[in-house]
Amino acid sequence: MEPEADEVQQIIRIDSELNKIRDYDILLERVLLEARRVVHADAGSIYVKEGDVISIKFAHNDTKQKSLPPGEKQAYPHFSIPVNDKSISGYVAMTGELLNIPDVYNLPPGLPFSYATAYDAKVNYKTTSMLTVPLKSQNNVVLGVIQIINAMGPDGKVEAFTKQDETLVTHFAANATVALQRAYMTRSMIIRMIRMAELRDPKETGAHVNRVAGYTIEIYERWAYTHGVGKNDLDKNKDLLKLAAMLHDVGKVAISDLILKKPAKFTPEEYAIMQTHTCSGARLFDDPQSDFDTIAAEVSLTHHENWDGTGYPGWVDPTTGAVLRADAEGRALKRKGEEIPIWGRIVAIADVYDALMSRRVYKEAWGEDAVLKEIRAMAGTKFDPELVDAFFDVLPRIHDIRERHPDSE
Ligand SMILES: [Fe+2]
Ligand SMILES: [Fe+2]
């Protein structure tokens, strides 16, 4: 059966709407919604391939959603499935082939996979028809899987998915694939930026950068827990914050080698130049529509600000250098307290802890007791006191991270 003219119109309209969405998470969820809507499916999920597993990104279920109070978003368990031929979605991820199954409880004999009924039991739902489509790049690499469940007939009964449904869902899957490819490319470019910064500054080793990012995530998770940040926001922010924390000193690429690699303490003039790495870093992330750029710019700009307003660079526009808030003499006012974005406040603690614990050209490493005493003493002056508490709450995890990323020398 050919799609009707108004259906084609509708698909074109949805495509152009999807094309306007820049945020990868929002786009994936919209693709799932539109793919379900166009084939009248009650439920569905989207998985993203991460190494040799696929992890669930979004799950929808209209029947379950209707039983919830309005405004409340359905919770679903987070899980990963191995990419192999034992499960339906694992098989599709492995082979890159679409599977259209009329009834998952009555699979024909001789198939390598079976349907995991435990999930239905857990969420109290009956899956029958299932259409599983790979999210495949042009060079046939599987990036994820979209799974559409229970085609609803006009009488409200579950039907099998048709050939036309296969075409429609495959069509929408292509939109999700483009988004995934874009996200992977962005990520690998960021990893290259981190390597580049490492080449420029011998003090910013891979180990230091990984430790600072690790500590940052631990402190943020603790903070997010006490502030009631939801699971979805938490996962997303953790992902972005980790890369942003790794890039905290990327602005040092703009500092002369004579200063950057000076094997002694800086003169006041050299120190003033060194401080510009905050603004230079922030300038690299000037896309205000990307959540990653916002976080990375804030980390770069504010990771040397102090809670009591004695840090740098203060209220300046990193792009133009213009003073945003001036004192009586026209100098930039310092940021203090919660004027400093949470990301900058967290990275500040992580960075200082790691710097004090490590040997530098101009100083020996301190013993940990002395470092912890110093951090405690700086609660309320250099650091946000609440975050200092969070840091001490997660100290055992901080030690784990330190052990996992030792300095190579
Ligand atoms: Fe820095
Ligand atoms: Fe650092």
pLDDT at 69: 76
- Residues bordering ligand 2, an ion, CB closer than 5 Å: 249, 351
> Which ligand sits nearest to residue 245's alpha carbon?
2
pLDDT at 26: 75
pTM greater than 0.85: no
> Which ligand sits nearest to residue 358's alpha carbon?
2
> Which ligand sits nearest to residue 278's alpha carbon?
1
Dihedral, 307, 309, 315, 321 alpha carbons, nearest 10: -110
* Interval between CA 304 and ligand 1 midpoint (Å): 6
* Interval between CA 355 and ligand 2 midpoint (Å): 7
* Interval between CA 57 and ligand 2 midpoint (Å): 32
> Which ligand sits nearest to residue 300's alpha carbon?
1
* Interval between CA 270 and ligand 1 midpoint (Å): 14
| Widest CA span in the chain | 83
Taking the C-alpha atoms of residue 347 and residue 344, their distance in angstroms, rounded to an integer, is 5
pLDDT at 51: 87
* Interval between CA 32 and ligand 2 midpoint (Å): 40
* Interval between CA 251 and ligand 1 midpoint (Å): 8
Please name which of 259, 298, 295, 292 lies closest in space to residue 278, comparing C-alpha atoms. 298
Phi-psi domain of 336 (left: phi exceeds 0; alpha: psi -120 through 50; beta: other): beta
> Which ligand sits nearest to residue 282's alpha carbon?
1
* Interval between CA 320 and ligand 2 midpoint (Å): 25
SS3 312: coil
- Residues bordering ligand 1, an ion, CB closer than 5 Å: 249
* Interval between CA 249 and ligand 2 midpoint (Å): 6
Helix ranges (DSSP H) in 261-334: 268-275, 277-283, 291-302
Please name which of 57, 54, 3, 5 lies closest in space to residue 30, comparing C-alpha atoms. 57
Q: Which residues contact 363 (CB under 8 A, 6 or more apart)?
A: none
**Residue 252 appears among annotated catalytic residues:** yes
* Interval between CA 278 and ligand 1 midpoint (Å): 7
Q: Which of 49, 57, 136, 252 is catalytic?
A: 252
The residue ranges of the chain whose pLDDT is under 50 are none
Domains of the chain in sequence order: 5-181 (3.30.450.40), 201-404 (1.10.3210.10)
pLDDT at 71: 63
